[in-house]
């Protein structure tokens, strides 16, 4: 998946989108690694959560091609343990939303073919159900 987000001269667009969607200020992260140390899935991630946040802050390319935010289960262990009070699970959810929105508006789940549903990352379906159920 390629990204259409451009890095501008000050703050990059991806960082701005993540902060707007998550409600988190990523500059608060001081890279202590507590989030990664508490994550039950850290061994499967291609970039640990604190490193992912640093990549976002620096505007490094390839962030949306990472698997870290798809592997994140949203268990909130990282968020609960963060000494700076960052809700890292919300940051991961924001990255998933940005990836899913890259192609524009998406149809409702009932409009997708069974084969297309099978191709979606499971966390995308879970997150959608969480947001759309009352």
Domain 13-104 has CATH 3.40.50.620: no
CA distance 27 to 31: 10
Coil, strand, or helix at residue 84?
Answer: coil
CA distance 79 to 73: 12
Q: What is the pLDDT of residues 77-109, one digit of tens each?
A: 999 999 999 999 999 999 998 988 875 555 566
**What is the average pLDDT across 103-123?**
66
Say what the pLDDT of residue 102 is. Answer: 76
Domain ranges of the chain: 13-104
CA distance 59 to 134: 36
pLDDT band of residue 74 (cuts 50, 70, 90) is confident
What is 115-133 written as a DSSP string?
A: HHHHHS-HHHHHHHHHHH-
CA distance 125 to 23: 22
pLDDT band of residue 127 (cuts 50, 70, 90) is low
Instruction: Check: CB of residue 77 under 8 Å from CB of residue 88.
Output: no
55 against 107, higher pLDDT: 55
| Contact residues for 22 (Cβ-Cβ < 8 A; gap 6+) | 87, 90, 91, 93, 94
CA distance 20 to 113: 32
38 against 48, higher pLDDT: 48
């Amino acid at each position: 998946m390629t990204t259409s987000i451009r890095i501008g001269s000050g703050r990059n667009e991806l960082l701005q989108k993540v902060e707007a969607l998550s409600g988190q200020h990523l500059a608060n992260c001081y890279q202590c690694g507590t989030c990664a140390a508490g994550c039950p899935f850290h061994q499967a991630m291609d970039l640990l959560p604190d490193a992912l946040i640093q990549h976002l802050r620096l505007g490094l390319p390839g962030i949306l091609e990472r698997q870290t935010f798809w592997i994140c289960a949203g268990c909130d262990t990282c968020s609960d343990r963060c000494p700076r009070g960052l809700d890292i699970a919300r940051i991961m959810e924001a990255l998933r939303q940005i990836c899913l929105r890259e192609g524009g508006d998406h149809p409702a789940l009932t409009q997708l073919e069974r084969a297309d549903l099978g191709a979606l990352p499971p966390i995308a379906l879970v997150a959608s159900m969480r947001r759309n159920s009352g």
